[in-house]
């Protein structure tokens, strides 16, 4: 049997997506199709949760096996793994709705509702995105690259304003020694040492001549 699922945001109706998948296919394939359709990074942690009729989370279908202090029997009862769990194993008369959590830090999730049997063309390659309308959800609230470039721009403008305010460009120090004037001190120290060595050498020559 082929299933049809309707995916939407839990807090609004501005996005709706339909995906068809075979009951013999895995939740890993379902996850990959969702991330491909929405432009998400499929390597990020994600889980499906089976919901009961009251909307309470039950069994978790995780992207990878999770380690916990629970016994092996308790863990197997509460958590499944996507790549070895078929759709038909979870979707039945008692579970027709899932939650797809794609950001555990902010608990961002999507509603995944069973929308009936998919009766498509026999040539269709499943999983298949039937339709996708509205504003797609973002996987993250910010783009790290954008933030980094913005910070760099701010730093550059700060350097320019510093130069303008104090009438010139800042001296670029290649080392901390340059910054604290250690090079000049070392030059003075070496100069004094050389003079002292020369005087000692001359005194020694005079002493040998006397002998």
Question: For each of the chain's 211 residues, which pLDDT tens digit applies?
Answer: 999 999 999 988 899 999 999 999 999 999 999 999 999 998 899 999 999 989 999 999 999 876 545 545 555 556 999 999 999 999 998 899 999 999 999 999 999 999 999 998 889 999 999 999 999 999 976 554 444 444 445 554 445 554 455 555 444 444 455 545 545 555 555 555 555 555 555 555 554 565 5
Q: Which helix (H) or strand (E) holds 54?
A: none
- pLDDT recorded at residue 195: 54
Q: Are residues 151 and 204 in the same domain?
A: no
189 and 89 both lie in a single domain: no
- Same structural domain for residues 69 and 33? yes
- Residues 40, 98, single domain; the answer is yes
Q: Count the domains in the chain.
A: 3
What's the pTM value of the predicted model, to 2 decimals? 0.64
100 and 126 both lie in a single domain: yes
pLDDT of residue 60: 96
Beta strands 108-117 and 2-8: pairing type? antiparallel
Q: Domain residues for 88? A: 2-134
52 and 84 housed in the same domain: yes
Last residue of a domain, one of 115, 134, 153: 134
Closest CA to 4 of 102, 128, 111: 128
Check whether residue 196 and residue 101 sit in a common domain: no
3-state secondary structure of 193: helix
Judge whether 32 and 100 are in contact, CB under 8 Å. no
161 in the same domain as 64 = no
pLDDT at 140: 79
Residues 119 and 194 in one domain: no
| 112 and 208 belong to one structural domain | no
Q: Does 154 share its domain with 196?
A: no
**Cα 153 to Cα 158: distance, rounded to the nearest angstrom:** 9
Clarify whether residues 96 and 155 are in a common domain.
no
Residue 127: cis peptide before it, omega within 30 degrees of 0: yes
Give the C-alpha distances (Å, rounded to integers) separating 61 from 48, 56, 86.
5, 15, 10
Contacts of 37 (CB under 8 A, 6+ apart): 17, 19, 129, 132
């Amino acid at each position: 049997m082929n299933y049809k699922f309707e995916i939407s945001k839990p807090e609004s109706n501005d996005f709706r997506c339909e995906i068809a998948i075979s009951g013999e296919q895995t939740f890993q394939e379902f996850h990959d199709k969702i991330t491909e359709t929405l432009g998400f990074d499929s390597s990020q942690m994600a889980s499906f949760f089976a919901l009961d009729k009251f909307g309470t989370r039950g069994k978790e279908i995780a992207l990878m096996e999770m380690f916990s202090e629970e016994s092996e029997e308790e863990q197997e009862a509460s958590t499944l793994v996507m790549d070895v769990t078929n759709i038909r194993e979870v979707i039945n008369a008692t579970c027709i709705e899932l939650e797809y959590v794609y950001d555990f830090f902010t608990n961002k999730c999507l509603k995944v509702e069973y929308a009936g049997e998919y009766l498509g063309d026999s040539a269709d390659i499943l999983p298949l995105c039937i339709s996708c309308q509205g504003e797609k959800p973002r996987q993250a609230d910010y783009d790290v690259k954008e933030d980094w470039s913005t910070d760099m721009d701010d730093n550059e403008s700060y350097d320019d304003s510093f130069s303008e305010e104090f009438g010139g460009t800042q001296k670029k120090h290649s080392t901390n020694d340059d910054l604290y004037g250690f090079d000049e001190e070392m030059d003075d120290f070496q100069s004094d040492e050389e003079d002292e060595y020369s005087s000692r050498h001359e005194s020694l020559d005079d002493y040998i001549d006397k002998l």
